[in-house]
Chains A and B, each alone.
Chain A
């Protein structure tokens, strides 16, 4: 029975878990931690099972309430969706494993229950966004994720985080509102909310209301761009991700900004047909914004002194890469974009988690003060180095593979310029990551470092993330072969490349 209903159960489990934590956790303090970890673990297992099912039988669909679309809400899983689900559930689990012992040191003891509840709600909403095939359902989960994410930033109540969280919330709500208007516009001209039916009705709607459809597309893209931190709408990101607790930053940078890209993927590749998109100047604007985001993000990251802010700006740059992959409209580029969503989630969480450990054990957040920590705490520093090398694009790590596909995609789309953009930005990445790695291992300590034992949960999660970075770089053919048929299917209707 579980097999048939696995999709809604996967979304529901974290949500139910959140409320159970709220109910019970206020009385028993450690219930929140243990139950949260357990729930996330089971969700991860369920997501793995979904992936297994999808790899066997292709697409899976589920109708809520037994009502078929367009009347009912549909949940759909296909290989790309399953891959994204794996990313979200897996990284969430390992971040929570990390936070098992580290979180009580970072935030107030009184709000830990709330934190875990919010975390689980966020996880549930992320999974919901990816699985839904109904636009309004996507919107509902979108809103849930925004609020949960904003709350995760401000949960501790310190002034800086609250200011950042309010900024995040305001801009996020603006984005959500724009997306809502877009959805309303689409519903108005086509009368459907289910993605497949929208795709079918769109050509006729475009014939009768061309301006409305175009404006809708614009609004949807802008709304998503605000939430996904595409330049120049990324201004909320550095403060929000820089001042949040470590596990929040890891989740926010790694997963939350990515889920909106998943929405954009669904929008651009499922709803709007590709030849339609190619006729619009959308590609140009996306590519220009993405390139600007890459460079400005990298340059601002070089200037930063605070390590978390630097990582946040680096996220802006990496989001630029993903948008580059989406905007190039070629097969390899989209593979690269999806793979980069995955590898960046793993890398950035690893970076944030190890940075959190380094901050905790040195008491300082500035890069200059983090010298010499590698000798006292090798595991976080090695994790950071692996993440840094992967960001620069050194083989055989996962970051190299996603850049490989992005580069080949750029060449496929006949845009040699973006290959050069890719290479140049990798060099810029090196400029702001390498000093930390070098300083951590080879410079003298500038602040007094206590020698403490790193909690087991933190160690395990860092080691697993390091192993994942290596594994998905060395054996990237496994996920790539999983994804390729779907990507090819999307593009074959288009006639193979632009």
Chain B
């Protein structure tokens, strides 16, 4: 591999980034010009990626560096992996753009959508051509934040909620990734993609810490369990082209990150003492992948909205990729098959998942429905869509001749090879999980096209038209890609995978083996039969007993883990705040209350003295005098006893109660709105039966009889509290300093 300095990677990133400005400018002159400009930018980026691929494929790695930029400079480095996937990214994005023109034609905020659409491409393609982890991080964050606008495009309640989960989880993931960058920078002095595990251990930092941060960073993006909770929320609420691109490409950045970090940075030669770490990492990833793929598939079967099923399908397919990554890492230098399977599936999934999402978008565009329970019998009105759908389904379920078959076989070979080499019984179980999940995949995909195109029509579909010409062209290209890769199975592997595998120090025998994968062997050809057999069984069960399966809402990672952690934290912190703001000052105030009382009485007495006028002298008997004195004393006692709350205080409290009630009403509304699968949630607890007026009246009565109660909040924090705080701080410092 020779290196060449070329500005092409920079151009590849700059084209879409600056193209955003062109899109916004063009939008001033009309929608038509804007869509032309967008298409042109996308196409130009695609051409640039193809040109780059052409150069890299001949054996040159392209590098470029911008020094002085942010202190370390940005680096670009395009090897075969990066170049290939750049082509995939730009192609998928281009096809989705062509599709999006009709899809978005009736949406609001189109310019904003297309502007951020283009910018996201800039960030995404930057991830794949980045030369070190720092540059990758920069583009990664740009991509994440830009895609947020795509996710919340509809701006309704559900979208904003989904956007929130996506954003906060992505920020957390980004920070975990930043932690990895910090550690690498500290250990190595640079964040390039070079083997670094020995250096990390030498500095005394635990590799598991880096792995955990890595999983947090890229795992959120890759939809790995248990960090996947944003995916089923975010991908369905985005418009279909955005979902396509999110599912197909953006989650691949997570997988790409894992590929680079696990195969290069955290890898060691087989014989090294640190190989144990690599094996453990790999094994962990296989399990994570297996759990992800299995649970994703099951959730896919149980859901009823087309896009949500496809979102869970993405999670499941990412599980496949992680599964393959793990098996490759586990075997070290013998892990060529795992790497090849992961890489191939990344490419294939990009194509067929965007294909599926765009098809779902087409169905939505023509029928206005995404709920599988409301769709049905569309085969008469949209036969061409059905045809395309069957091709996509064939891809994802791994029918020979289509692209999904190729990667599935390779992954299957990978896990079998792992078992043959290591003879761990768990690996066999993992292989079985793999096969079963294949069946589940077939189940949920078949469920989609069965429920959409077959069965009794639930609505009147007579007005529904089939796909228009531009959409047919787009889907035709997808079919062509699928068939080309699928039919020339070994050829695709030779051209797309072998050069990538040669970049890494894999065993030559394995690489040769990769050149002769038994794609057309009998056992392999029969594997889809197994899948579909399982699928038929599952669908049958679903048809018979489907109505009785109700997944309780609390049985999800979100509720079991995230909500509990969040509630725990919130309770703890609110408790602490209550302690500091209410309990502590009230204890202090009860100490100082006596002093204040004395103060107040002194003030009142002084005021009385001031107002005292010399009494008119009148003769009065002793008994009368005594009576008068008694009355006076009694009056004074009365005056002192009843402490009223001032008007202002009362008004404030009434205001506060009103506010509270308003908030409660809003919250109540929200809770009722929270519907799960059409079933309204049961117990919206009665927040109190009293009406607002009653409550206010109660409050007034209370106020009239109330004794003086110091009302503490941070605003009225008395002097005493700070003095105590300062004294304590002084004592602490002096004590600590003087020991």
Contact = CB atoms under 8 A, between A and B. Distances in A.
Interface stretch (B171-179, B340-348, B363-371): B171-179
A394 B175 CA distance: 9
17 contacts: A170-B719, A214-B737, A218-B736, A233-B725, A239-B714, A281-B739, A285-B732, A395-B70, A395-B137, A396-B69, A396-B70, A426-B171, A427-B168, A430-B171, A438-B152, A442-B160, A475-B68
Contact of B737 (A174, A280, A474, A476): A280
Interface string A275-297: 00000111011000000000000
Give the interface SS of chain A, mostly helix, strand, loop or mixed. helix
A408 B182 contact: yes
B734 to A, nearest CB: 5
8 nearest A-B pairs in the assembled complex, by CB-CB distance: A411-B186, A218-B737, A218-B733, A423-B175, A430-B171, A407-B182, A477-B71, A214-B737
A174 B738 contact: no
A69 B164 CA distance: 60
B160 A443 contact: yes
B171 A282 contact: no
Contacts of B137: 395
B737 A411 contact: no
Nearest to B171: A430
B577 interface: yes
B173 to A, nearest CB: 10
Contacts of A401: 70-71
Contacts of B182: 404, 407-408, 411, 419
A430 B168 contact: yes
Interface in A392-424: 392-396, 401, 404, 407-408, 411-412, 416, 419-420, 423-424
Nearest to A302: B573
A238 interface: yes
A239 to B, nearest CB: 7
Given A222-B733, A236-B722, A426-B171, 12 more contacts: A160-B715, A171-B722, A217-B737, A233-B729, A235-B714, A411-B186, A412-B186, A423-B175, A438-B160, A442-B152, A475-B69, A476-B71
B736 A285 contact: yes
* Most A CB within 10 A of own CB, among B176, B721, B722, B732: B722
Interface in B251-299: none
Contacts of A434: 167-168, 171
Contacts of B175: 393, 423-424, 426-427
B67 to A, nearest CB: 9
Interface in A442-476: 442-443, 473-476
B715 to A, nearest CB: 7
B145 interface: yes
A163 B718 CA distance: 11
Range class of the A interface residue count = 35 or more
B209 to A, nearest CB: 8
Nearest to B581: A300
A209 interface: no
B117 to A, nearest CB: 16
A132 interface: no
A382 B164 CA distance: 19
B178 A393 contact: yes
A180 to B, nearest CB: 14
A473 B72 CA distance: 12
Interface in B695-739: 714-715, 717, 719, 721-722, 725-726, 729-730, 732-734, 736-739
A171 B577 CA distance: 22
A480 B176 CA distance: 25
Interface string B315-329: 000000000000000
Interface string B155-187: 100001001100110011011101100110110
Interface in B175-207: 175-176, 178-179, 182-183, 185-186, 205
A136 interface: no
Nearest to B187: A411
A305 to B, nearest CB: 10
A7 interface: no
B171 A239 contact: no
A411 B184 CA distance: 11
Interface string B9-49: 00000000000000000000000000000000000000000
A483 to B, nearest CB: 13
B573 A299 contact: yes
Contacts of B205: 416
Interface in A184-235: 211, 214-215, 217-219, 221-222, 225-226, 232-233, 235
Contact of A394 (B145, B172, B714, B733): B145
Interface of B: 68-71, 137-138, 141, 145, 152, 155, 160, 163-164, 167-168, 171-172, 174-176, 178-179, 182-183, 185-186, 205, 209, 573, 577, 714-715, 717, 719, 721-722, 725-726, 729-730, 732-734, 736-739
A222 B176 contact: no
Contact of A408 (B69, B185, B736, B737): B185
Contact of A285 (B719, B730, B733): B733
Contact of B726 (A174, A218, A420): A174
A491 interface: no
A474 B176 contact: no
A442 B722 CA distance: 41
A408 B155 CA distance: 40
Contacts of B176: 423
Contacts of B739: 281
Nearest to A332: B186
B174 to A, nearest CB: 8
Contacts of B70: 395-396, 401, 473-477
B725 A420 contact: no
Nearest to B734: A218
A427 B155 CA distance: 24
Nearest to B737: A218
Nearest to A444: B155
A303 interface: yes
Contacts of B715: 160, 163, 239
A198 B164 CA distance: 55
A35 interface: no
A494 interface: no
* Most B CB within 10 A of own CB, among A218, A238, A280, A389: A218
A1 B738 CA distance: 50
Contact of A480 (B71, B171, B172, B186): B71
B178 A238 contact: no
A178 interface: yes
A232 B729 contact: yes
A249 B155 CA distance: 34
B103 to A, nearest CB: 21
A63 interface: no
B737 A281 contact: yes
Contacts of A171: 722, 726
A302 B729 CA distance: 26
A88 B155 CA distance: 41
Contact of B186 (A300, A408, A427): A408
B737 A282 contact: yes
A482 interface: no
Contacts of A419: 179, 182-183
A233 B160 CA distance: 38
B179 A423 contact: yes
A376 to B, nearest CB: 16
Contact of B171 (A167, A170, A233, A392): A392
Nearest to B186: A411
Given A214-B738, A411-B186, A475-B68, A442 B155 contact: yes
Contacts of B733: 218-219, 221-222, 285
Interface in A230-287: 232-233, 235-236, 238-239, 280-282, 284-285
Given A235-B714, A303-B577, A477 B738 contact: no
* Most A CB within 10 A of own CB, among B138, B179, B729, B732: B729
A215 B734 contact: yes
A238 B581 CA distance: 14
